[in-house]
Amino acid sequence: QVQLQESGPGLVKPSGTLSLTCAVSGGSISSSNWWSWVRQPPGKGLEWIGEIYHSGSTNYNPSLKSRVTISVDKSKNQFSLKLSSVTAADTAVYYCARDRKKTVAAPRYFDLWGRGTLVTVSS
Amino acid sequence: DIQMTQSPSSLSASVGDRVTITCRASQSISSYLNWYQQKPGKAPKLLIYAASSLQSGVPSRFSGSGSGTDFTLTISSLQPEDFATYYCQQSYSTLRAFGQGTKVEIK
């Protein structure tokens, strides 16, 4: 079955750029799904960061939009997150997730999640 | 932006209890509401989508209802494995928003 796996550095320096990749296995990233990044600061709730379609279309959380870039690499069946100018407030577990729907007009939902990766921003 | 507000923030319950969690949207979101369960150190797990549709493999003791701005997640008979944090999430707008979570603890 389809699985998602996040990877990337677990430690990023303040003012640096956080870079993560989500590998999609068991299925194609070019299927009719959007692919999202969601984060969760330690002990806190979930925050949606943004999403991408295999065509390259993206949508971002306005609160992070100026610092976020999500890209897709169809040849490697993966998508990536870059978050620039990070501070301690960006310390969180970062999840990638599949955002799908049953029919064209149906509501969407995150039905598949990676295990998450903790990124700490510290010098 | 659509804001999602859950209540209560936490609750204590016993095995076998009926538990209800409420989620309110700041504007109408039709039935574009999903529920997730998250256990410590684990990724969220989809329970209910489109307000009332049970995700495949999820026990039938979980149910969802509501439309517009008010939604509920009900666990008909709480089991030991149900102690977790529950989140609602709207998919009506492009900016996906989650509720703040409801922690269900053992009484």
pLDDT, tens digit (0-9, with 9 covering 90-100), for A48-80: 999 999 999 999 999 999 999 999 999 999 999
Residue for token pair 């859950």: B6
Token pair 């659509």: residue: B2
Contact A32, A103 (CB under 8 A): no
Residues A31 and A54: their CA atoms lie apart, in Å, by 8
Q: Choosing among A34, A44, A109, which should be mutated to test the B contact, i.e. which has the most B CBs within 10 A?
A: A109
Span A17-25, mean pLDDT?
A: 98
CB pairs under 8 A between A and B: 61
Cβ–Cβ contact A111 with B under 8 A:
yes
CB A37 within 8 A of CB A81: yes
Q: What pLDDT score was predicted for residue A81? A: 98
**pLDDT (tens digit, 9 = 90+) per residue, B42-101?**
999 999 999 999 999 999 999 999 999 999 999 999 999 999 999 999 999 999 999 999
Residues 6 or more apart in contact with residue B62 via CB below 8 angstroms: B35, B47, B48, B54, B73, B74, B75, B76
Of B33, B46, B100, Cβ closest to residue A111:
B46
Inter-chain residue contact B95 with A46, CB threshold 8 Å:
no
For position A112, what pLDDT does the model report?
Answer: 97
Q: What is the pLDDT of residue B85?
A: 98
pLDDT at A104 over 80: no
B63 and B74 in contact (C-beta within 8 Å)? yes
All residues of chain A having their beta carbon less than 8 Å from the beta carbon of residue B33 are 107
In the DSSP assignment, the letter for residue A108 is P
Distance CA B49, CA B43 (A): 17
Mutate to test the interface with A, among B96, B100, B102, B103 (most CBs of A within 10 A): B96
Nearest to A48 by CA among B96, B37, B49, B92: B96
Per the CB < 8 A criterion, the answer to whether B25 and B3 are in contact is: yes
Residue A106 pLDDT grade (very low, low, confident, very high; cuts 50, 70, 90): confident
A22, A33, A46, A94, best to mutate vs chain B, most B CBs in 10 Å: A46
Task: Assess contact for A25 and A3: CB atoms under 8 A.
Answer: yes
Cα separation of B5 and B7, whole Å?
7
How far apart are alpha carbons B64 and B50 in whole angstroms?
9
**Where do the DSSP E strands lie in A8-101?**
11-12, 18-25, 34-40, 47-52, 58-60, 68-73, 78-83, 92-100
Instruction: For residues A99 and B46, give the distance between their C-alpha atoms in angstroms, rounded to a whole number.
Output: 11
For B44, the closest chain A residue by CA position comes to A113
Of the candidates B41, B39, B5, the residue with the CA atom closest to the CA atom of residue B21:
B5
Given an 8 Å threshold on Cβ–Cβ distance, is A107 in contact with B32? yes
Alpha-carbon distance A98 to nearest alpha carbon in chain B (angstroms): 11
Whole-angstrom distance, CA of residue B77 vs CA of residue A7: 38
Q: Chain A contacts of B94, Cβ < 8 Å?
A: 59
CB contact under 8 A, A107 and B96: no
